[in-house]
Amino acid sequence: MNTRHPFSDPELAAPLLRRLEKAITRPFAFMEVCGTHTVALFRTGIASLLPPGLTHLSGPGCPVCVTHDSEIAAAISRAARQDVSLATFGDVMRVTDPDGRSLKTAKANGASIAVVYSPLEALDLARASPDKNVVFLGVGFETTAPTVAATILAARAQNLGNFMVLSCHKLVPPALRLLLEGPECGVDGFLLPGHVSTILGLAPYEFIATEFKRPAVIGGFEATDLLKALIALVEEADSPAPRVLNEYGRGVSPQGNPKAREIMHTVFAPAPARWRGLGVIPDSGLALRPEFAAFDALERLEITLPDVKTIPGCRCGEVLSGRMRPPDCPLFGKACVPASPIGPCMVSTEGSCAAYY
């Protein structure tokens, strides 16, 4: 018999679970915005212990998953150029475009593509390869964008003319607004992302409570963090004035990280961005400001995002907007598995479909 308890701290988690069960007085659907929360709900065992009536929906918080097919296609096409070396994070490599091409297959066919763990490594590559234009493919949210901005500032300070960034960054609050404005929004409250919130703090989410009368709670990633956040969400939901709360105080300060935001806004300005499954959302992306045009791959390599087909049969768009749970995709666990993924939600370690699988 397997006696391993799903919690590392069962004596703390068990009473919280009982409190959550008591707090549920009606059906309640919350969205865990961040892919790491989806993974944490399964890793800790909480997903299988949620009280009846409490449903969790995945949100648009996996950076690789929300990167649009047209952004992947643009990166693949530029990586094929002889004068270009592309650098990016590992998860993006296996995302396929609708024709089945990926950065991984492009690399196998001879394109110069490097997997890096930090944008600063791409700067090292640029220094070591003066004959190449080194393009860092920047995907991710407010968590990664400040580091990429700092790298651009470093490139400018070092006069590195062969380093540039293809900015596919996305901002979380505009996506949540879009979901809330949708006529089909079945979300009663948001479990807000722990990592993004270390940068943002609480203020950028206030509209969820003030305009849309929904609660939103920043949560951590351990079993007790998740349970505390869920209890707060459920308790706030029936309040006449639901609030935005922080239940991850050891990681997130109410004001976030102003220095990181300052660096991010020095280099980037909000711009429209294409999201997988959500379409174009105004002011939800980050474009390089004109004074940093020398580091902007869109400008330097004359990139226009192409119109692309969608991946046949893949329902990632619906999964990312909480309109479908991964097991309800007809391809889930059949044609689409982590070893041979069809959509990005099965590719990424933070992807909902991979987490459910």
- Interacting residues with ligand SF4 between 306 and 345 (CB under 6 A): 314-316, 319, 326, 329, 331-332, 336, 342-343, 345
CB of 136 or CB of 332, closer to ligand SF4: 332
| Residue with the two structure tokens 């009536």 | 53
DSSP SS3 for 313: coil
Strand partners of residue 286 = 270
92 binds ligand SF4 (CB under 6 A): no
The candidate with the shortest Cα–Cα distance to 246, out of 289, 223, 216, is: 216
72 binds ligand SF4 (CB under 6 A): no
Least distance to ligand SF4, CB of residue 254, Å:
36
How many Å apart are CA 116 and CA 125, to the nearest integer? 10
CB of 131 or CB of 184, closer to ligand SF4: 184
Q: How many residues bind ligand SF4 (CB under 6 A)?
A: 14
How many Å apart are CA 94 and CA 288, to the nearest integer? 26
Least distance to ligand SF4, CB of residue 332, Å:
4
The candidate with the shortest Cα–Cα distance to 199, out of 254, 246, 244, is: 254
CB of 126 or CB of 346, closer to ligand SF4: 346
Least distance to ligand SF4, CB of residue 222, Å:
27
How many Å apart are CA 185 and CA 162, to the nearest integer? 45
Least distance to ligand SF4, CB of residue 327, Å:
8
46 binds ligand SF4 (CB under 6 A): no
CB of 111 or CB of 319, closer to ligand SF4: 319
Segments in 34-171 forming alpha helices (H): 35-43, 46-49, 63-66, 69-79, 103-108, 119-128, 145-157
CB of 237 or CB of 329, closer to ligand SF4: 329
AA identity, residue 273: A
CB of 134 or CB of 319, closer to ligand SF4: 319
CB of 223 or CB of 324, closer to ligand SF4: 324
**Long-range Cβ contact pairs of 324-330 (< 8 A, separation 24 or more):** 325/57, 325/58, 325/356, 326/58, 326/352, 326/353, 326/355, 326/356, 326/357, 327/356, 329/353
Least distance to ligand SF4, CB of residue 48, Å:
20
Find out whether 345 and 353 touch, Cβ atoms under 8 Å.
yes
Instruction: For residue 15, count other CB atoms closer than 10 A to its CB.
Output: 11
Least distance to ligand SF4, CB of residue 238, Å:
33
94 binds ligand SF4 (CB under 6 A): no
| Paired tokens of 226 | 């998740």
- Interacting residues with ligand SF4 between 135 and 194 (CB under 6 A): none
Backbone phi and psi for residue 219, each to the nearest 5 degrees, phi listed first: -130, 155
Residues near ligand SF4, by CB under 6 A: 314-316, 319, 326, 329, 331-332, 336, 342-343, 345-346, 353
